[in-house]
Structures are given as C-alpha cells and as structure tokens.
Structure 1
Amino acid sequence: MNKSTKIILNYLLGAGLFAWLGYSIYDQLKHQSNLKSALWQMSGALEQKGLITLTLVLILMLFNWGLEARKWQMLVLPLETISFGRAFRAILTGVSLSVNTPNRIGEYGGRVLYLQHRNKLKAIAATIVGSFSQLIVTIIFGLIGLIFYINNFPALNAGEHFAPFFWEKILLTVLIIICLLTILLYFRLQIIVAVFEKIPWLRKAKVFVQIIARYSPAELSNLLALSACRYVVFSAQYLILLHTLGVEILWWQGFLMNAVVYLVMALVPTIAIAELGLRGKVSLYFMGLLSSNTAGIIAATVSIWLINLVLPAVLGSVLLLGIKIFKDK
C-alpha cells in the first residue's frame, strides 16, 4: 500500500468513524424518554445554585479519566513509553469506540490505536488487567454496600422452609467467594499464561498475553489504588449531583447504596450508550429506598451518564479525525 493510499484511507476511516459515532450518540439520546425532563430539572437546579456544581463535576470527570489514563500509561510501560497526554487521548478514543459495543469491549480497539503496530495486540491483554483491577474495586465496595442493603432493606422474605435472610446470606457467600478468587487470580496472573502454554490451540497466542506476567505485586497494588481513587471520584460526582438536585440523603448511605448499583451494572451485560434505561431503573430502586425524590434521582443519573460517558465519547470521536490508522511505515 503506497503512502498516498494510506493518507486517503486515514482521512476516510477517521471521518467515517466520527460520523458513525456522532450519529449513534445522537440516535440514542433522541430515544431517551427521561432525557428532556432530567435536563430541565438540572438547568433549574443550576439557576438556583450557579455553575459551581457543574464546573466541579466536569473537573472531576477530567480527573476520573485522568486516573484511567495514568493506569493505561503504567500498563503499557513494559511495551513502550507513552506520555500522559497521549494516554489521555487514547482513553477518550477508547470511550468513543466503546459506546456501541457490549460491555464496552470496543474500548480496547480505541486505546491501541495510539501504540506502535507491533504492540497493539499485546496491549489488549494489558487493558484487560486494568479492567480487572477496576472490577475488583467495584466488587469489594459493592459487597460492603450489599451488606448495608441487606441489613436495612431485606430484599427477600423468608419462606416456610428457610430461615430469615437465608437467600441474602447465600448471595453474599457466593459473591465473597467470587471476590476472593478474583483477587487471588489478579495477583497470580502467571496462571493465565500457564493455561495458554498448556492448551495447544492457545499456545500460539501466548506471546500476546505474556505482558500480564511482567507486572509485580507492587505494580498491581498501585493499579488497585488508582482504581479505588477513580471509584471514589465518580461516586463523589453522583453524590454531588444528587445533593444539587435536592435528593436529601446521608452521604455515606448514598455511597453504599450507589455501590450496589455499580455492582449490578458491572455484572449485567449492557451496551454503554443504551444502558441509561437500565441504570435509571436500578438507581431508582436502590437510591429510592433512601429518598422519595425520584425526579432528582433520575435527573442525577442522566446527568452523570451525559458527563462521564457521552461527553468523553464526543471528544474521543473528534480525536479519531487525527489518528493515523494506517502508519507510514
């Protein structure tokens, strides 16, 4: 493929992806039934309390994805050194490509566009490790929130053959076992490489997952710490919006109940751009146990979805215009 052809394809593919993502985001927003009312309520709250809250939440959005960019920068270090700015652009591009894919798997493809060609497939395994660390944090906080929920709002009544809280205890036990096994596997990623070595049809792909065996326990712990910080940041964003929209709850109760929402959303397969309906129902159920202000809960849920997902996806789609999908060499 000659240089002129590569230049033409880069422009065409970049513009095509930008147009497709832009239309997808617009189409999904158009069909969100709660969007107009949520925006109306949000604008009313801003008129009363000013733009300070919105500015704070937007700054936290940048901090949120900045932490993810730092994680990505650390994860690909065994392959190549990239600047924080490049890592941040990779994260936004990944968000834009993830919005139309189940459980945001398109995020991997968006990030690796910023790496050298020889490292692209290897970096997918690195990205999975980063997602793994975030999942562990989500499960741990979710379990704490679930304990709070079960002790204060029993979900299931005991039947004639079961003692009170029987099903809740079963659920907790299963999740705790899953959490412990997940943490064990996270700090023993060499097990995955060993599996690739022992299974004949996976052996050829071992070279693409070997990177996960290079991370030391200290590096994996640092990734967990960054994931925990990121979790606190986007939880704080939601709590700030709830307070702004008149949802009066104790912050720690809101944090724990919201942790259950994040746990549910992490375990249920969804497409990111279309998950608002499910997220709204789950948030309304759990947060509704703490406050009767359903309109405020829905408005906060829609607002955080727009700020933390749609806005970065739009920015990432613009960045696609400048990416060289086909390199000169």
Structure 2
Amino acid sequence: MPDHLLQNYAEKPERTTRRKWLVIGGKLLITLLTLGLLWYSVVADAATAAAWRRLLTSTLTGEGRMPVLLALALVPVNWGVEAWKWWRLARHLEPVSFRRSFRAVLVGLTLGFVTPNRVGDYAGRIIELQHRRLDALGAVFLGRYGQLVVTVLAGTAGLVYFLLTFYLRDYPATGLGVVVAAVLVNAGVLLPLYRSRLLLAVLMAVPPLRRFRRFLAVMPTYPARAIHVVLALSGLRYVVFCAQFGLLLRAYGAHAPLGPGAAAIAGTFLLKSLVPSLNALADVGVRELSATHLFGLLGEPMLPVLSASLSLWVLNIALPSAAGLGFVLRLKVFRKKQPALARPAPAPESSAAS
C-alpha cells in the first residue's frame, strides 16, 4: 500500500478521537451552563428563590396544595403534547417513535435554555433524527410557527379586550379600528401556515433571506390534514399552559374573574412571545412585567401574580431543562454515514398545503 494512503489511514482515528472529545466538551459545557443558569435563576435570584420557597411552603402546609399539584401534574402533559406534535412532524421525514420524539423535545428544551432565542431547540430535535436533518429545520420551524399562530390568535383577543375596556372606552371609532387591525393581523399570521409557498416566495423576493429557503422547502410537502393536527395540538398545549397559570394564580391567592383573567393570561403570553430573548432566563422578566401590568388593571396585587408567573417558569422550563440534561450527555451528535440506497424514502402524502 502506498505511503500516502497509509498516512491518511493513520490519521482517521486521530480525527475521530478529536471529534469525540469536542462532543464531550460541548456536552459538559452545556451541562455547566444549564446548571449555572438554574442556580442563578432559582437560588441566587432573590425574587425567584422567594417564589420557589413560597411554592414549596404552600404545597407542604396544605395552603393551595391542590392547585399547585394539579399544575405540576400538567407539566408532563404539556411536554407530552409538544412531543406528540413533533412526532407528527418528524414521521413525515423518517420513521420515528414517540419515545424518541419525547426525548428530542427534552433535549431541545435543555439546549434552548442556554442559547439565544432558544435556537438550541432546533439542534436538540435535529440531532435525534437519523436522516434528512436539513429538512428537519423546516419541520421544527413549522411546529414552532403553529404554536405562535395560536398564541397570536388568543393573545390579540386578550389585548383587544384590555384596550377596549381600559383605554378606548370613550373612542368607539378607534376601538373599531383596533378590532379590524387585529383581524387582519390574525389572517396574515394564519395564511403562511396553510400557504407556505407564499412564505417561500417572500423569502426569494428578499435577497438577504434567500439562504433560508432551502431550510423551509419541506413545509409545502406537509398535507393540510397534518397542518390541522399541528394547529390542534398547539391549541391543546396552549390550553394546558393557561390552565397551569390559572391554577398557580389561585394557589397564590389571585382571584380575577374567569373571562378577564383568561384575557390577561393570553395577553401575557403574546407579549412574551413578541420579545426576542437571550436565553430562557431572559423570558422571566418579560413575562412577569406583562403579567403584573395586565392583572394590575384587574385590581390584582403584584405579589401573587409575580409568584405565579415565576412558578410557571420554574415548573415548565427550569425543571424539564434539568431533566433533559441526562439525555444531552448521552447524545450521539455524529452518526455513521450510510449508503444513499439504505436511506428510507419519505412516504408520499397527498393534498400538500401549498
């Protein structure tokens, strides 16, 4: 065998070993960052620590125990629905089990905890797939966009309620304009979900955005019935979130009427979603500021609302992120390449949403 071939052969184990150590180092870095942010947000931060202590005290002493336990019981339901949604999207690309989908969601949650605007959620779900990882970017975007659509539909209704009730009561013409604007916004947000080819056309029309088209090209291949399922599951998960928030508000002593309270919760989630964040920790301040303002308009004191909002973040983000660390450490970031013929072809689906 020629010397240069022997040299190349000898270098391959070294590259493999170097890559292995880089993966291990990345996992440890993510672990340390996650644990550090959890410590800072739950223990070192005085406001969050106080809310957490009150949550534990109310549970152990019996005051508000049932609402808190119900909210806690809904945590696996919340992320189970999200895993169901991702399973429905991922199986369009390749055969995948619900168990792997649930693991991918937890891994994405942990990675998103330490990345800007939670972009690590994409990586966590893509890594769990065997093939078509580039197309998986579009699948993840489709799932997140479906959740955003539900948030916008409910949130605009909540904010319109507050605008008409507290700010535009004496300005009926302006109030009508706000309602019309809300309807147009909702239509504009909903349209790309079912007419994704329009979204791709917009990307092609804007030169700086053209590079994103290849990542979203898989979206028009999803049939309309799949979009219906994604939207329905997004709505179900939204209801679970709202129920958890309502239960925690009751546990801490807030007693807003059902309708206005639901409008405040919906408005809070919308305002939080519109503000980009550096990481999951930054979401805390945005949600608390929105919640205390909207519930303040309903005459609710700040402390119960603040405690409930912080507890919602701890239950749904902090604790599952910590649970996902175990899966992160066992990730197989790089997979062995397989012959192209061995890769399963995607199952053809009809009536694609285009």
Could you state the TM-score of these two structures normalised by the residue count of structure 2?
0.82
Deviations 1:162-221, CA, capped at 9 Å, x for gaps? xx2565555444333221012111110122344567788977865543310111111111
- In the alignment, structure 1 residue 121 sits paired with structure 2 residue 134: yes
User: Aligned residue pairs: how many?
Assistant: 322
225-234 or 4-13, which deviates more: 4-13
- In the alignment, structure 1 residue 103 sits paired with structure 2 residue 117: yes
8 Å contact from structure 2 (residues 164, 175) kept in 1:
no
C-alpha distance 209-75 of structure 1, shift in aligned 2 (>3 A): same
- Tell me the residue number matched to 2:8: none
1:297 aligns with one of 297, 300, 305: 305
- Tell me the residue number matched to 2:321: 313
Tell which has more relative contact order, 1 or 2 (C-alpha 8 A, sep 6+). 1
- Tell me the residue number matched to 2:32: 19
- Tell me the residue number matched to 2:9: none
Distance of 2:96 and 2:103 partners within structure 1: 11
C-alpha distance 205-241 of structure 1, shift in aligned 2 (>3 A): closer
Deviation at 1:9, TM superposition (A): 3.9
- In the alignment, structure 1 residue 42 sits paired with structure 2 residue 50: no
- In the alignment, structure 1 residue 183 sits paired with structure 2 residue 190: yes
Higher gyration radius (CA): 2
2:254 aligns with one of 233, 247, 250: 247
Percent identical across equivalent pairs?
Answer: 30
2:74 aligns with one of 40, 51, 60: 60
C-alpha distance 254-7 of structure 1, shift in aligned 2 (>3 A): same
C-alpha distance 284-165 of structure 1, shift in aligned 2 (>3 A): farther
1:224 aligns with one of 227, 231, 237: 231
Distance of 1:205 and 1:144 partners within structure 2: 31
Distance of 1:170 and 1:30 partners within structure 2: 46
Matches within 5 A, 1:83-102: 83-102=97-116
Distance of 1:201 and 1:242 partners within structure 2: 44
- Tell me the residue number matched to 1:71: 85
Amino acid aligned to 1:280: E
274-283 or 219-228, which deviates more: 274-283
- Structure 1 unpaired stretches of 5+: 159-163
Deviation at 1:252, TM superposition (A): 2.9
Deviation at 1:152, TM superposition (A): 2.3
Amino acid aligned to 1:86: R
C-alpha distance 41-293 of structure 1, shift in aligned 2 (>3 A): farther
Could you state the TM-score of these two structures normalised by the residue count of structure 1?
0.88
- Structure 2 unpaired stretches of 5+: 1-11, 338-354
